Amino acid sequence: MAVMRYAEALNLALREEMEADPTVFLFGEDIGGYGGVFKVTKDLQAQFGPSRVRDTPISEQAMTAMAVSAAMTGTRPVLEIMYADFLPLCMDALINQASIYDYIWNGQVQMPFVLRTQGGGGAGAGAQHSKSLDGMLAHIPGLKVVAPATPQDAYSLLRAAIRDPGPVIFLEHKLLYNQRGEVTDAAQPPIGRAVTRRAGRDVSIFATSRMVHEALSAAEMLEGDGVSAEVVDLRSLRPLDLGAITASVARTHHAVVVNEGWRFCGYTAELAASIMEHAFDDLDAPVERVALPDMAIPYAEPLESAVIPSAQTIRAAALSAVR
């Protein structure tokens, strides 16, 4: 067991999977000698060489199509898209190729590739570099979408994603890269399994990525309000661990869903609908949603802080649910 940063945990996972499997290779913008914008691929090109850690031109559409082709022909590519905001450029390859080839080829073609990217606000990166497009990605059948919130899950879930036989979108958050935590190779959670970060009796808070930490902070504040909050880290946006969700609602009878994406047609809408469909009889109040307003993320720090979901807005939603 070692204590390391989230970014270092990702780097370790990539290194170990590349050592274990010569078909794994990385490519993306500035991931080679520079080590990536957030240093996740630091020193990997020096160890594995430029044929397995490849710098590319700026063409997200071409790179995603390359990942699809490489995966079909027997390798396990790991593609880095520098910012999640650029994912719309990748959607043709994801929607019309990667997500459907298993179906149209009747299982004869496997598509084992990982698309890593980072999103989220809070760093003053402006409207073009701060989006969370979770709902758009999770909407696509045939793709798995994961969003680890801790260094341990960053390590374990990236290894699981690389080994998966299908396409996996791996969502990182720019404000988590420097978070420190213990990492061990003993625990390897499968994709699609949620985890309860804090047990509670009165309300269940379901969150993803950095919002898990905001939810935990909200739970601390709610203790002072006399409310015991359970915090469930979904970890996997698709497949969704409905068993963990319904079990938690059965215990608390109130639910708050939190995601940093937009509210309208967003991931919280799907979570709320899923809870209503699968746990309606256990609810004592409507599901509360905490999400980004339907607007561009402001550049100015006070305005950005005002619109991004926070511990305070999660606390308010939880109080509304129980009262």
Catalytic residue annotation: 60, 129
Q: Considering only CA atoms, which of 39, 100, 97 is closest in space to residue 67?
A: 97
- Please list the residues that pair with 118 across neighbouring strands: 172
Output the six-digit token pair for 172: 């990182």
Element (H, E) at 83: none
Q: CA neighbours within 13 Å on the CB side: how many for 295? A: 10
206 - beta bridge partners? 232, 257
Q: Which residues pair with 78 in a beta bridge?
A: 26, 114
| Contact indicator for 86, 34 with CB cutoff of 8 Å | no
Asked if 227 and 253 count as a contact pair (C-beta separation under 8 A), the reply is no
| Dist. CA 182–CA 184, nearest whole Å | 7
CA distances from 310 to 58, 108, 201, 216, 295 (A): 34, 45, 22, 11, 17
Pairing type for strands 236-238 and 144-146 reads antiparallel
Q: Write out the DSSP string of 181-245.
A: EEE-SS--PPTT--EEEE--SSEEEEE-TTHHHHHHHHHHHHHHTT--EEEEE--EEES--HHHH
